[in-house]
Amino acid sequence: MTALICGSVAYDTVMVFEGRFRDQILADRIHMLNVSFLVPALRRNFGGCAGNIGYNLKMLGGDGRIMAAVGKDFAPYRAWLTDCGLSTEFIRQLDTEYTPQAYITTDADNNQITAFHPGAMNHAQINEVPSGAGITLGIVAPENRDGMIQHAAQFAEAGVPFIFDPGQGLPLFDGAELKTFIGQATWVAVNDYEASMLCERTGMTVEQIAAQVKALIVTRGGEGSYIYTGGQRLEIPVAKPRRIEDPTGCGDAYRAGLLFGLQRGLDWPTTGRIASLIGAVKIEHHGTQNHRIGFGEFSARYREAFGTSL
C-alpha cells in the first residue's frame, strides 16, 4: 500500500532561546510588541510537513511518496531524500522561487515562535494526485490553500482514502470549506488546539465530526492522544521520551505512525501507540529528520513503553 504525502517540503532554521518568552513579553504591551531574543544555538534542518512525514514513514518501513512544490535551492534536500531512499518523483521544482523556509525559535518551556516563507509552496496546486501510480492511501497535510483544496478533491474523486491534517493551514478555511474537507476525508488528524478551532468554525462537536469519518485523531502533547472511532473514544497513552531535545516535527512523526498503521492494517490502539512512540523518538533529537531507529529497536521500545509486543 503506497501513501501519497501532500504537503510542504521546507528548510527549517531552528534557534534556541535559553530563557522563557513569557519573561520577555509584557501582557499590557503586547499591542506594541518589540522584542529580540538572543539565540546562541542555531541549526538548519531538512523539514516541511510532507518531508518529515515521508522520512518517518520510511524509517518505520512504510511506503510513501512525497508530493510538493520546491524551489531553485532544493538540490541539497533532493540529495538528502535520495540518500534516505525516498522518491522525489512527485516533487516539482520551480526555478523562479525558493524552497519554503521556516524560522523557528524555541524557548526553555518548548514554546515556539515561527516565521514561514512559503516560496514555491504558493504554487502547490500545480501538482495533481497521480492516477495509475499505485497510490492507495493519502494524506493532505499543510501546503497552500488551493493545493489542499485541490488534492483533497482529487483523492475523493479517485476513491483514495486519505487523512485530512489541516495543521497550521486550518485558519485558511472557513466553516463551509472545513465541512467539505471532513466530508471528503476518511480520517481527520488534529492537535487539541486545532480540534477546538475546527469545532468552532464548523459549529460541530468533536463527536459530530468523528461520526462523519472512520476516525478522528486528536493529539494532546505530553498527555497522549484520543482516537474517536466507532462511537468510542480510545485513549492512547504517551510514550515517554528518554530525553526532551526539540519538539519540532513531533506531530509529523505521529502522522507517519498513523499512515504506517493504516498500511499494515493494524487496529487503532496499536496504530496510536506506534504514532506516539515515533513522536517520542523524534523529540529526543534536534531537528526534524536527524533521528534514526531500526524496526527491531523500535519494537523493543514499544514493548518497553506499553508492555506488549508489536
Ramachandran angles phi, psi of 203, nearest 5°: 75, 15
* Joined grid coordinates for residue 160: 483514495
Cα 105 from Cα 218, distance rounded (Å) = 25
**Residues of the chain below pLDDT 50:** none
- Asked if residue 109 is part of any domain, the answer here is no
* Joined grid coordinates for residue 200: 468552532
CB atoms closer than 10 angstroms to residue 309:
8
Per-residue pLDDT at 41 = 85
- Asked if residue 32 is part of any domain, the answer here is no
Work out the mean pLDDT of the chain and round it to a whole number: 95
- Asked if residue 173 is part of any domain, the answer here is yes
Per-residue pLDDT at 116 = 86
Helix (H) or strand (E) holding 10: strand 10-16
- Asked if residue 114 is part of any domain, the answer here is no
Per-residue pLDDT at 10 = 96
Number of domains in the chain: 1
Residue-wise pLDDT for 203-236, tens only, equals 999 999 999 999 999 999 999 999 999 999 999 9
- Asked if residue 112 is part of any domain, the answer here is no
Domain span holding position 124: 2-10+47-99+119-306
Per-residue pLDDT at 287 = 85
Are the C-beta atoms of 140 and 167 separated by less than 8 Å?
A: no
- Asked if residue 107 is part of any domain, the answer here is no
Predicted TM-score (pTM) of this structure? 0.91
Amino acid at 212: Q
Per-residue pLDDT at 29 = 78
| Sign of the torsion angle spanned by Cα atoms 295, 50, 114, 105 | positive
- Asked if residue 200 is part of any domain, the answer here is yes
Question: Which letter, b or e, does each residue of 91-122 get, where b requires 16 or more Cβ atoms within 10 Å of its Cβ?
Answer: bebbeebbbbbbebbbbeeeeeeeebebbbbb
- Asked if residue 36 is part of any domain, the answer here is no
> What is the domain-level CATH number for residue 281?
3.40.1190.20
CA 249 to chain CA centroid, nearest Å: 7
Cα 7 from Cα 95, distance rounded (Å) = 19
Where residue 267 falls (left for φ over 0; alpha for ψ -120 to 50; beta otherwise) is beta
